[in-house]
Chains A and B, each alone.
Chain A
Amino acid sequence: MLQVEDLTVRFPGPRGGGLVGAVDAVAGVGLSLARGQVLTVLGPSGCGKSTLLRAIAGLEHVDAGRILLAGADLAGVPTHRRGCALMFQDGQLFDHRSVAANVGYALRLRRRPRREVAARVEELLDLVGLTGYGDRAPATLSGGERQRVALARALATEPRLLLLDEPLSALDRSLRESLAADLRQILVAAGTTAVWVTHDHEEAFTVADRLAVMQDGRVVQEGTPAEVWRHPADARTALFLGYASVLEGSAAARIHHVLGSPDPAVRRPVALRRSALRLDAAGPLAGTVVAVRASPEVIRLRVRVDGLGEVDAVAGREHPAIPGDEVGLAVDPDRLAVLPSGAAPSHLTAPTP
């Protein structure tokens, strides 16, 4: 359905004009997406993911490469003829129109009869869970409601491709989680093909059929969420996906050994989640507790382990530990990922959240 080939978008340098200091915001990106699927583009802010989205919408000048939608090259097709509805981070509702007029905007553009528009608007408001909101002014809505209206407005165009630019980033955490699941359901129900840009990996895993990780203007990894999660392409990606630390060299070898690898030469880097090591008196690793922090479900520890350095670990609530305790640790193989060799530049740790 959507095919992006070797796409490059170059921003002029800060002095304007010329190529001096020009930056490739999107550098040689290739992507493809099948009809009815949701592709999430995940990356830190400034990685070029929004620019990619805007280029697909026809809002950025493309310096190289092609964008094909349903097999047709979009080069030279102006935004309003592309059939790609774009949903902004802050909705960009038309505050001078009612909710119903916002949702029905695209239909009015197509000169659909008033009655049909009204019916469709009602249907869409039902779909996004805002039945009866038609006469409200956008300014009176909460952030979550505004985004629902923005989605309804975008869906009203029956877009060939729906583009969502960090649609939930402006909302608070709990709302973001529930709304992400809601939006996913709405998209699936409507059979919409969508590209969803976000910097939040949990949101990405909630909504994605396919996941593309972007860094510095490039797609560094692409696959199903499970694949990406299981096999991050490199240490940076692993850390961005929520792994707490990446071990390499002898530290990685130590983990491989604990996991039963017979070959001591295996030194591929290992990405650990915070819960990859578990307090276990019988565990194969030994260390000293450095810090303890209670969370609602588990007790989180920082443990200094010989040969690994300081790492995260968890303990059940029934295992109280205090700093200075000598403890044993077991490794949970489901909570770590083995990275391709040579992928880690050096010992890396995710910033403590």
Chain B
Amino acid sequence: MTRTSRRPGTTTASVVGVVAAGVPLAVLAVFFVLPVGGMLARGFVDDGTFDPGGVLQVLTRPRVHRVLAFTVLSAGSATVLAVLLGVPAAYVLSRLRFPGVRLLRAVVVVPFVLPTVVVGVAFRQLFAASGPLGGLGLDGTPVAIVLALVFFNIAVVVRTVGAQWDGLDPRREEAAAALGARPAQVWWTVTLPALRPAIVSAASVVFLFCATAFGVVLTLGGLRYATVETEIYLLTTTFLDLQAAAALSLLQILAVVALLLLAHRARATEVALARVDRPRRRPRPRDAWAFVVLGLVLALVVAPVATLVARSLRTADGWGFDHYRALAAGPTEGGSNALRVPVTTAVENSLRIAVDATVVAVVLGLLVVLVTTRPRPAGRRAARWARALDGIFMLPLGVSAVTLGFGFLVTLDRPPLDLRSSGMLVPIAQAMVALPLVVRVLSPVLGSIDDRQRQAAATLGAGPLRVLRDVDLALVWRPLLAAAGFAFAVSLGEFGATSFLSRADRPTLPVVIFQLISRPGVDNAAMATAAAVVLGALIVTVMALVELMPRRGRIA
């Protein structure tokens, strides 16, 4: 009865399907495969001859080994720490009921949307000799990098695991307890197995984000502590060693694809949950330890942000908005500051680009998801195609944004695709970065629609387009807004690809921040904090608006 259907008239449906899949595929081919491929090709072709040996040579360099080891170690420890802190926090935030829980839930998620450059600046301020935690001597150490990575990704764990926990039927745990299981046994035999898919999935995503993090590592690690991603950047921009950069890019792509496949298999074993709405319970004394962990998480989240804001407001003679004024004033005559445009211009650039990037990412993502989630009999060739398509659009997750940005530069610079001067170059690159996120947000929602809803609409007289509007789009409306918000935030904060592509006279806000911190001078550092606050506030505002958007279709 739950079988999906083979309907009459499938030929027209599949033509529409091919077109809907074709547009995003074409865009992906031109704006992702081509640049990345072009970039990789540059590494393999030396003086016009195919030379794969040179690439392998790169992998034997001691520095490359150090970079690889550091990438795996930092990402691994950040992942472990994020899970250890995130799971108890998820427990408190999704299982318990106490005043302020909603606020805490929002606070914990904020870091995820903050741009990497902002977080980098914040952690530098926190651990700087003059900062509140300067005494720990962590400035410029791997510990600072790992903590910054945890800061970012704790939200992923709390969100993913929390959502799963929210849907667990507590009666299953109660049943175990009634059969004589002690609380610890309940946890190990019932709760943890039920959460395991979510934990594995969250951990693999966190590891992926950590291993490909760019802005944070670049701002905190500089030349000394490089991950594969920042090394690609340094090799490309500083040493102009394209061969080595291509080798590392390739290695990264392979590693990420392997990881994504593993994560996919973990997801495939996920058991469907009977989602139940059960009231959250009040905290009990034995929940105290979980609150302690939540306290740590909150400290980790709040401290850097508070430091950042405080630093941006501290002036030579007390407190004030001097740095913000300096930002808005823009470049000074022969001045010491590194600004090339007033910050208002950069904000305007960022917003314009983000709007374009969001539209591109959401339209493409929606098309992809509509095609991949179309129900079809399992085991058919079409189903395999849909899964492959779904995987293909995850690829940008695993490809260094730096590779992508540089690839844009080297491949889209001659006819018929001379886009260097086109205003769409940056938005399209950012859209490619945001696309996987859009697909991931929309895919589960559209995939969970009971096909019989569509069939019911059809038997009531709704044609295919009308069904699309009244069932698919009506149900996906809110997640679509959330996806758009995410894409907008990603675009506003995107730095890896943008750093290559934004034109000197039209920088985005993250580019301005990076310019400020790369120049010496206390004023520049202080202005960077102010600019980071502006960017952070902008993104938090966007996300809050999305979050507060009234639920459409909710009826009294």
What per-residue 1/0 map shows which CB atoms of A3-29 lie under 8 Å from chain B?
A: 000000001101111000000000000
- With a cutoff of 8 Å between Cβ atoms, the chain A residues found around residue B470 in the complex are 94, 105
CB pair A85–B377 under 8 Å, yes or no, is no
What per-residue 1/0 map shows which CB atoms of B453-484 lie under 8 Å from chain A?
A: 10111111111101100110011000000000
CB pair B8–A75 under 8 Å, yes or no, is yes
Residue B53, interface by CB 8 Å: no
- Smallest Cβ distance from A153 to chain B, in angstroms? 7
CB pair A61–B8 under 8 Å, yes or no, is yes
- With a cutoff of 8 Å between Cβ atoms, the chain B residues found around residue A12 in the complex are 377
Choose among B3, B378, B461 the residue with the greatest number of A CB atoms under 10 Å from its CB. Answer: B461
CB pair B5–A59 under 8 Å, yes or no, is yes
- With a cutoff of 8 Å between Cβ atoms, the chain B residues found around residue A17 in the complex are 379-381
Q: Check A79/B458 contact, CB under 8 A, given A61-B6, A92-B453.
A: yes
- Smallest Cβ distance from A321 to chain B, in angstroms? 42
CB pair A110–B5 under 8 Å, yes or no, is no
Closest to B3 in A: A11
Residue B179, interface by CB 8 Å: no
CB pair B7–A86 under 8 Å, yes or no, is no
Q: Check A136/B458 contact, CB under 8 A, given A61-B7, A96-B475.
A: no
Closest to A14 in B: B379
- With a cutoff of 8 Å between Cβ atoms, the chain A residues found around residue B467 in the complex are 80
A92→B454 CA distance, assembly (Å)? 9
- Smallest Cβ distance from B7 to chain A, in angstroms? 6
CB pair B460–A60 under 8 Å, yes or no, is no
CB pair B553–A88 under 8 Å, yes or no, is no
- With a cutoff of 8 Å between Cβ atoms, the chain A residues found around residue B274 in the complex are none
Choose among A75, A80, A83, A153 the residue with the greatest number of B CB atoms under 10 Å from its CB. Answer: A80
Neighbour of B456 across the interface among A77, A88, A98, A109, CB < 8 A: A88
- With a cutoff of 8 Å between Cβ atoms, the chain B residues found around residue A109 in the complex are 460-462, 466
- With a cutoff of 8 Å between Cβ atoms, the chain B residues found around residue A92 in the complex are 450, 452-453, 455-456
CB pair A105–B7 under 8 Å, yes or no, is no
Closest to A136 in B: B555
Residue B548, interface by CB 8 Å: no
- Smallest Cβ distance from B477 to chain A, in angstroms? 8
Interface size on B, residues (CB 8 A): 36
A50→B459 CA distance, assembly (Å)? 15
Closest to A163 in B: B459
CB pair B377–A84 under 8 Å, yes or no, is no
Neighbour of B6 across the interface among A60, A75, A96, CB < 8 A: A60
- With a cutoff of 8 Å between Cβ atoms, the chain A residues found around residue B7 in the complex are 58-61, 78-79
A135→B555 CA distance, assembly (Å)? 8
- With a cutoff of 8 Å between Cβ atoms, the chain A residues found around residue B466 in the complex are 80, 109
Residue B103, interface by CB 8 Å: no
- Smallest Cβ distance from B279 to chain A, in angstroms? 17
Neighbour of B455 across the interface among A57, A76, A89, CB < 8 A: A57
A94→B456 CA distance, assembly (Å)? 9
CB pair A106–B8 under 8 Å, yes or no, is no
- With a cutoff of 8 Å between Cβ atoms, the chain A residues found around residue B461 in the complex are 80-81, 83, 106, 109-110, 157
A12→B10 CA distance, assembly (Å)? 17
Neighbour of A16 across the interface among B379, B453, B462, B553, CB < 8 A: B379
CB pair B459–A153 under 8 Å, yes or no, is no
Q: Check A60/B452 contact, CB under 8 A, given A84-B459, A137-B556, A153-B460.
A: no
Q: Check A62/B8 contact, CB under 8 A, given A96-B474, A135-B555.
A: yes
Identify whether the interface residues of A are mostly helix, strand, loop, or mixed: loop
Interface size class of A (residues with CB under 8 A): 35 or more
CB pair B455–A86 under 8 Å, yes or no, is yes
- Smallest Cβ distance from A333 to chain B, in angstroms? 40
CB pair A85–B460 under 8 Å, yes or no, is yes
Residue A231, interface by CB 8 Å: no
Closest to B556 in A: A135
CB pair A77–B8 under 8 Å, yes or no, is yes
A300→B529 CA distance, assembly (Å)? 87
A156→B454 CA distance, assembly (Å)? 17
Residue A97, interface by CB 8 Å: yes
- CB within 8 Å of A: which B344-399 residues: 377-381
Closest to B380 in A: A16
- Smallest Cβ distance from B325 to chain A, in angstroms? 49
Closest to A62 in B: B8
A92→B475 CA distance, assembly (Å)? 14
A136→B8 CA distance, assembly (Å)? 35
- Smallest Cβ distance from A108 to chain B, in angstroms? 9
A109→B334 CA distance, assembly (Å)? 68
Neighbour of A78 across the interface among B6, B8, B553, B554, CB < 8 A: B8
- With a cutoff of 8 Å between Cβ atoms, the chain B residues found around residue A88 in the complex are 452, 455-456
A80→B461 CA distance, assembly (Å)? 4
- Smallest Cβ distance from A97 to chain B, in angstroms? 7
- CB within 8 Å of B: which A30-85 residues: 50, 54, 57-62, 75-85
Neighbour of A79 across the interface among B380, B381, B455, CB < 8 A: B455
- Smallest Cβ distance from A103 to chain B, in angstroms? 10
Residue B1, interface by CB 8 Å: yes
Residue A154, interface by CB 8 Å: yes
- Smallest Cβ distance from A157 to chain B, in angstroms? 6
- With a cutoff of 8 Å between Cβ atoms, the chain A residues found around residue B456 in the complex are 86, 88, 92, 94
Residue B9, interface by CB 8 Å: yes
CB pair A97–B463 under 8 Å, yes or no, is no
- With a cutoff of 8 Å between Cβ atoms, the chain A residues found around residue B1 in the complex are 50, 89, 165
A17→B384 CA distance, assembly (Å)? 13
- Smallest Cβ distance from B1 to chain A, in angstroms? 6
- Smallest Cβ distance from A105 to chain B, in angstroms? 6
A79→B9 CA distance, assembly (Å)? 9
- With a cutoff of 8 Å between Cβ atoms, the chain A residues found around residue B464 in the complex are 78, 80
A192→B389 CA distance, assembly (Å)? 45
Closest to B555 in A: A137
- Smallest Cβ distance from A30 to chain B, in angstroms? 20
A157→B461 CA distance, assembly (Å)? 8
What per-residue 1/0 map shows which CB atoms of A153-187 lie under 8 Å from chain B?
A: 11011000001010000000000000000000000
Closest 4 CB pairs of A and B: A16-B379, A96-B553, A86-B459, A79-B458
27 CB contacts below 8 A, A to B, read A11-B3, A15-B379, A17-B381, A54-B5, A58-B458, A59-B5, A59-B455, A59-B459, A60-B5, A61-B6, A61-B7, A78-B458, A78-B464, A79-B458, A79-B459, A80-B460, A81-B461, A85-B459, A88-B452, A94-B471, A96-B553, A98-B555, A109-B461, A135-B555, A137-B554, A137-B555, A153-B460
Known pairs A88-B456, A165-B1. 20 more at Cβ < 8 A?
A16-B377, A16-B379, A58-B7, A59-B459, A61-B10, A75-B8, A77-B8, A78-B9, A79-B8, A79-B459, A80-B458, A80-B459, A80-B467, A83-B461, A85-B459, A94-B453, A97-B555, A105-B457, A106-B461, A135-B556
